[in-house]
Structure 1
Amino acid sequence: MTNKVKVWTKQHENILQVLEQSGRYIAKREYIEQKMEDHSNLYLGVYEWYVHAASRFVPPPPDVKYPIWVSLSKEESIQNSEGNAILEIELDEDQLIIVDLLKWGNIVNHLYIPKDIEDQKEHNKMLENYGIDDITAFMTPFYPNIKRKIEQSHERLFDDTSVLGDMKVGTIWEIREEWITQITK
């Protein structure tokens, strides 16, 4: 028998209608574009990478293209705001992917995820020798080897031996109506 876990997510209140009508909610491209506005292309690219990488650990349903972010404790959940709802969800533990929030921030910002402090020092020294930073290496066509190194380091998102911070967050592939234990508007 699988253990149950509780997680919390802040979503636009319109998903309550979707849940009522279909019994299920999945993140869609248009929702991300509406929420992230001018920054949506940045997120869509890293979300596509994330879905591909994370699906090795928890395979998504065939129609799922994007993750749904969740907090692992009520205290760490994002504060509610007008037009949104906080959903408390109870689901099987094996449906949840947990990651280091700082590592995810590095991925979103196209930064290197080091193995350890020594690895970070070596990486910083290399960048210093080139007179660049991670973002320059990643966003320009002039440093393909460094960009590849940065991209490969992103696999450490799922490696618990490399830790950047204490804050953890999770993703799930869908929200099923029967998983919801509480709704706060």
Structure 2
Amino acid sequence: MEQDRRETVRLYTRQNDKTLYQLERDGRIINQRAYVELHFGDIAPLFLESYDWFTRKASARVKKPADVQAPIWCSISRENCLRPVPGTVVYVLEVPKDQVIYFDDEKWDYVLNRIYLPKDREDREQYRRHLRELGVANGFEFFQGRYKGMYPEEERRIRESWERIFDIDRWTIFNVCGNIWEIREEWVLRIVHPGEDVV
């Protein structure tokens, strides 16, 4: 079988235990925007805008199945994965490498906060100077604050900078995540329940 010859990677993801029924019924688990809304509650609209951006950009890297609306967040290590708590399980997965979208989770915070993601220290300093020249105290207010809609070029520049989340400068278990579009039944090595060790 073709899949057996592909290189695979081990991933770990904590999910609601209701996904067990989806896996049994459909042979796969997929994510929907509604699940993100439920997870984040009142602050969901802010997160959904970022998740939608990520979904568009990630689908240009790994083709997204038509019925999938959001990616599934995964840890690349057992040590750094979220442990199962009541109402959740952890899926230990063996996924074809070409199905994984790697990104820097520390850089993801820039997307969530709607701020410019600098290339390096020098770029960070140049951007700070640029903000001072604009007379802007901080870069947090272009999308949600007092400068909203006033600087379309700045908004474009910030959005373009977010692409850098896919550039991994430092590969560690703490900053690198590997997202996937689905969990297929054949990828599941183990399902870890609360009170069990993730191995």
* TM-score category of the 2 structures, normalised to the smaller one: over 0.9
Preserved CA contact (<8 Å) 2:104 2:167 = no
Query: Mapping of 1:166-185 within 5 angstroms?
Result: 166=172, 167-185=175-193
Shift of 1:64: 1.2
Of 21, 24, 29, 2:28 maps to: 24
Shift of 1:165: 7.9
Residues 104-153 of structure 1 deviation map (CA, whole Å, 9 limit, x = unaligned): 11111112111111111011122233233221123212222221111110
In the TM superposition, what is the alpha-carbon distance from 1:181 to its structure 2 partner? 0.7
Does the Cα contact within 8 Å between 1:138 and 1:150 map onto a contact in 2? Answer: no
Q: Distance in 2 between matches of 1:87 and 1:45?
A: 27
Amino acid at match of 1:43: F
Q: Distance in 2 between matches of 1:173 and 1:18?
A: 15
Give % identity: 36
Aligned counterpart, 2:140: 135
Number of corresponding residues: 183
The letter of the residue matching 1:48 is D
Structure 1 position 7, deviation (Å)? 0.3
1:38 paired with 2:46, answer no
Give the match for residue 196 of structure 2.
none
Which range is displaced more, 139-148 or 54-63? Answer: 139-148
Normalising to structure 1: TM-score of the pair?
Answer: 0.93
Q: Where do 4+ consecutive residues of structure 1 move more than 4 Å? A: none
Counterpart in 2 of 1:89?
93
Counterpart pick for 1:113 among 98, 114, 117: 117
Give 3-state SS (helix, strand or coil) of 1:141's partner: coil
Give the letter for the 2:142 counterpart. Answer: A
